Amino acid sequence: MRGPGSRPFPARPAATDGLPGIDTIVVLMKENHSYDNYFGILGRGDGFALGPDGLPVNSNPDAQGRPVLAHHLSLPVNPSFHVNQTWNDSHRQWDGGKMDGFVTTTGSADPMGYFDEQDLPWYYSFARTYGIGDRYFSSCLAQTFPNRRFLQAATAAGLVGTTLPSPFARPPSTGLIWDLLDAHHIGWANYFAEVPEIGLWPRNLVRWHGHCHDMADFHADCRQGRLPPVSLVTPEFLAASEGEYQDDQVGEAFTASVFEAAAASPQWARMLFIITWDEGGGFYDHVPPPAAVPPDDIPPGIHVPPDEPGGYDRYGFRVGCLVASPYAKPGHVSSVVYDHTSILATIELKWNLPALTRRDAAASPLTDFLDLDGPPHFATPAPLHRPTIWPFSGHR
């Protein structure tokens, strides 16, 4: 097993090309939906078990032990006041692999709800056209900020909840993916609608202000072919992230607008576009997250009791991962085990960069989605179903 500081190709110098055919990587991370909640009824990949009527038979017990079936949600809105994804609730939902605590941690049937193709036509069209991963897990059984830290640092650095970071918080000593890119003169940008994602460590907003650009710049850079080699897109938090109290069809429309801009770019010919969700949001998923390589020796900031025991040695719940490229395998379902550090592993593979922690060193890059040996399957981007809300305006 590789360790921190090791390169994918040890005999080659850093910054050499390990993924010919891909020059531009765009990452868009949304909020708070498990795989089953969005794609359990997709009809491909490991989704719900279906009965003779075509409806899911998956269930969770309520406080009296009565089964609560997975059911279609009547509105495309994340009912976040009835779902919980804290460290403690996530571990109770997991329940040692039984996956039976989603209802009892909330006292509500909402965690068993799901959306379907009529709710999210663009996401379903994308998954069937390009590719989806059905073994892509969030990085830890916790909330948004710890998981988004894994996306940048391959560690949560002890964080277990979504609390505002201290202005004095320092990035982990092993650094962030942005440090690696800067050290090897590889361009990158964080395009954002409201708050740059690199602000999970507030000092970075000063250090890397020149890498922060608003969404108008993203669309202009797409049109003019000026996207840097690595782009992280941070959506509108209050309207389009698909998080708390939001209309997920607005979020889908935002995602579609970002992808269509990228796919229309002259850089599409050598692009890898990745969409994922930071964590499951407290929604049910039927696949137990497996053990994971601990990223480092930093323990989670918990106190047992009263907190649930655990560490960063297990993935979080499954989330969707959608991947597009001219070289995408058409309609592919990848069952390789991934987590957010697989995105880092893909970047590191492309430029032969050293791993940040043990987690990204062990992570599988997203290459199973691609067929780079022949001509591109999507030299011209495929047409997708329009989102229910279009064009994107940030509101209904």
Looking at residue 176, the DSSP 8-state letter turns out to be -
In this prediction, residue 244 carries a pLDDT of 76
3-state secondary structure 95-122: HHHCCCCCCCCCCCCHHHEECCCCCCHH
- In the chain, where do the E strands start and end? 24-30, 59-61, 67-69, 71-72, 113-114, 131-133, 188-192, 212-214, 230-234, 271-277, 321-324, 332-334
Please give the pLDDT value at position 56.
Answer: 98
- pLDDT on residue 81: 64
The C-alpha torsion from 69 through 119 and 146 to 7, rounded to 10°, is 110
Segment holding 253, helix H or strand E: helix 248-263
Give the residue ranges of the chain where pLDDT is below 70: 77-81, 393-396
Neighbouring residues of 17: CB distance < 8 A, sequence distance ≥ 6: 350, 351, 352
Give the separation between CA 347 and CA 369, rounded to whole angstroms: 15
Contact 240, 193 (CB under 8 A): yes
Cα–Cα distance measured from residue 394 to residue 268, given in angstroms and rounded to the nearest whole number = 25
Q: Cα(382)–Cα(380) distance, rounded to whole angstroms?
A: 6
The helix/strand/coil state of 277 is strand
What is the rounded distance in angstroms from the CA atom of residue 301 to the CA atom of residue 155?
Answer: 13
Listed in sequence order, the residues at least 6 apart from 201 whose beta carbon sits closer than 8 Å to its beta carbon are 165, 169, 170, 171, 176
Query: What size, in residues, is the chain?
Result: 396
pLDDT tens digits, residue range 148-197?
A: 999 999 999 999 998 877 777 888 999 999 999 999 999 999 999 988 99
Three-state DSSP class for 163? coil
pLDDT at residue number 32? 94
Give 152's contacts (C-beta < 8 A, 6+ positions apart).
176, 177, 178, 197, 198, 200
Helix (H) or strand (E) holding 37: helix 35-39
Cα four-point dihedral sign 160, 162, 166, 167: positive
Tell me which residue of 112, 117, 150, 89 sits closest to 276, measured CA to CA: 150
Model confidence pLDDT, tens digit, residues 326-351: 999 999 999 999 999 999 999 999 99
Question: 121: which 2 tokens?
Answer: 């036509």
State whether residue 178 is helix, strand or coil: helix
Coil, strand or helix at 261? helix
Q: What pLDDT shows up at residue 395?
A: 46
Task: Please provide the distance, in angstroms rounded to a whole number, between the alpha carbons at the two ends of the chain.
Answer: 49
Q: Which residues contact 101 (CB under 8 A, 6 or more apart)?
A: 60, 89, 92, 93, 94, 95
Query: What is the DSSP code string of 296-325?
Result: SSPPPS--TTTSPP--SSB---BB-EEEE-
What is the separation of C-alpha 351 from the centre of its chain, rounded to a whole number of angstroms?
21
